[in-house]
Amino acid sequence: MFSNGKRLYKSALFVIAGLILGLIISSQFSSQAYAKTQGSKISEQSIDLLTKTGRAMAEVTAAVKPAIVNISTTRTVKISGGMDPFLDDPFFKRFFGDNFGRQRQPREHKSAGLGSGVIVSSDGYIITNYHVVKDADEIKVLISDKREFKGKVIGSDPKTEISIVKIEASGLPTIAWGNSDLLQVGEVVLAVGNPYGLNQTVTMGIVSALGRANVGIADYEDFIQTDAAINPGNSGGALVNVKGELVGINTAIYSTSGGYQGIGFAIPSNMVKSVMDSLIMKGKVIRGWLGVSIQKVTPDLAKQFSLKDENGALVGDVVENGPADKAGLKRGDVITEYDGKKINEPYVLRNMIANTSPGEEHKITVLREGKIITLNVTIGELPADMQEAAVSGEYQNVMKGVSVQDMTPELAKKLKIPDRIKGVIISDIGEGAIATGVLMQGDVIQEVNRKKVIDTKAYQDVVSKIKADEDVLLLIYRNGSSLFITLSQK
């Protein structure tokens, strides 16, 4: 009986051991199956593709980053005294009078700025934005190997927001030029710069749109829109394609908070190169000129001119003996093509003409009274007085920093300026200008020192003769009335 019990006991142990071993084996197989199932969610092909993509982006970044520089500037800023809030208190007015201390003297202080730049030649030519180096007293350029150089502005074009800075160095890393005309919406791009002073920052996105104009950043606008993160300090940095080629110069962001919101703008590389070559070789920007005033085709105008759609640029006027006049263009023509390229909006034609070298012959297709006509036109050079339609305030007197432009019918209507008022409109007042707090954007300057100024040419003639320490008497129009205003260095 005992022996039988012993045998039963051993048999039970074998059964239990077998069950435990089975559970262990089963658990191992289950774990392996689970791991295999989980691993199958990311295939080897996908991992390989993503790894190669990551490496490719790293290679592009490594090739581009050495040519991106940090630009820091200092400028002297005059702060208007402004109004002291305490002086509006009845207690102070009772003892000191209504006018006591109302205008405090402007104070000077040093203002620092940060931006980016792109080295485009091994001997030290750098492209950046005009606003990065505007009015700078000192420019410092920090390159990728941590060396710092003193920079000098050798040319600027506010109309396209481009400036060229030169540093005394050789053997510098450069970036290859790309053809911005070949860009397509959806194409992957990288933005490289120094946002918030954080050197050599790279962000990735796509080309969101092409040919953005009427943004209000520059006179000649044909921006590349991208969602690659661009923040303050990125201005002047590079927008590159997957080949590591420069396709744009980062310029601005659209933001309600001051930071990145998914909309950034870059100047196309083809426009940048054209301006850069002109500034370096000729010391100024040479632009083509057609000699016409053009406007957008609205639905009402399309109906009046019996047009099928609203594409093209409607010719409102033709300059006598200008290139267009000699070629046979007439008022009322709708320019639809330039060298076979479609003209959907007036700014497209304007940019094309501006980037054309004077003396070249080109074909223009126009729609005239329902008929398509092709004309050959020899592009002229934009006259100096038209080149300076908006006069920047680079004077060494009290008018320094005050930029003006001619008054057009459209501006007069927008600002509700009566026909009897003639003069130039203040378009901008620079940081630290003596006129800050005294003059305003939108003011019409009718007279300078009792001399009438009916256009920017007359304004330049008068203001350029004002001495550095001379006071100025201005007659301006503002908010429905004319008033005299004095500007003084004191």
Residue 258 lies in a domain: yes
- Residue 99 has which token pair? 């006018």
Are 239 and 247 in contact by the 8 Å Cβ rule? The answer is: yes
Could you tell me how many residues make up the chain? 490
Into how many domains does the chain fold?
Answer: 4
Please indicate, yes or no, if residue 375 is contained in any of the structural domains.
yes
Mean pLDDT of 6-28: 53
Given a contact cutoff of 8 angstroms between Cβ atoms, the answer to whether 117 and 128 are in contact is: yes
Q: What is the pLDDT of residues 199-227, one digit of tens each?
A: 778 888 999 988 887 666 666 778 889 98
Name the more confident of 78 and 37: 78
Mark whether 247 and 157 lie in a shared domain: no
Summarised one tens digit per residue, pLDDT across range 126-141 is: 999 998 998 888 899 9
63's enclosing H/E stretch is: helix 44-64
If asked whether residues 193 and 274 sit together in one domain, one would say: yes
* Residue keyed to tokens 């070249």: 360
Radius of gyration (C-alpha) of the chain in whole angstroms: 33
The residue ranges of DSSP E strands in 379-461, in sequence order, are 380-381, 390-391, 402-406, 424-429, 444-448, 451-452
* Domain-embedded: residue 457: yes
Domain limits for position 426: 390-487
Q: Which of 115, 111, 146 minimizes the C-alpha distance to 130?
A: 115
CATH code of the domain containing 268: 2.40.10.10
Inside any domain, residue 416: yes
We report the CATH number of the domain holding residue 428 as 2.30.42.10
Q: Are residues 407 and 347 in the same domain?
A: no
pTM above threshold 0.75: no
Query: Is residue 310 domain-shared with residue 371, that is, in the same domain?
Result: yes
- 343 and 395 together in one domain: no
Is 38 part of any domain?
no
Identify whether residues 370 and 398 lie together within a single domain. no
Which of the listed residues 282, 302, 324 is the one where a domain comes to its end?
A: 282
pLDDT score recorded for residue 160: 87
Tokens of 479: 């908010």
Q: Residue 30: inside a domain, yes or no?
A: no
Domain-ending residue, one of 115, 133, 166 = 166
Residue 28 is predicted with a pLDDT of: 54
pLDDT of residue 431: 66
The verdict on residue 466 lying in a domain is yes
Are 216 and 264 in the same domain?
Answer: yes
Q: Is 307 a domain residue?
A: yes
Final residue in a domain of this structure, among 384, 413, 438? 384
**Residue-wise over 248-267: b if at least 16 C-beta within 10 A, else e?**
bbbbbbeeeeeebeebbbbb
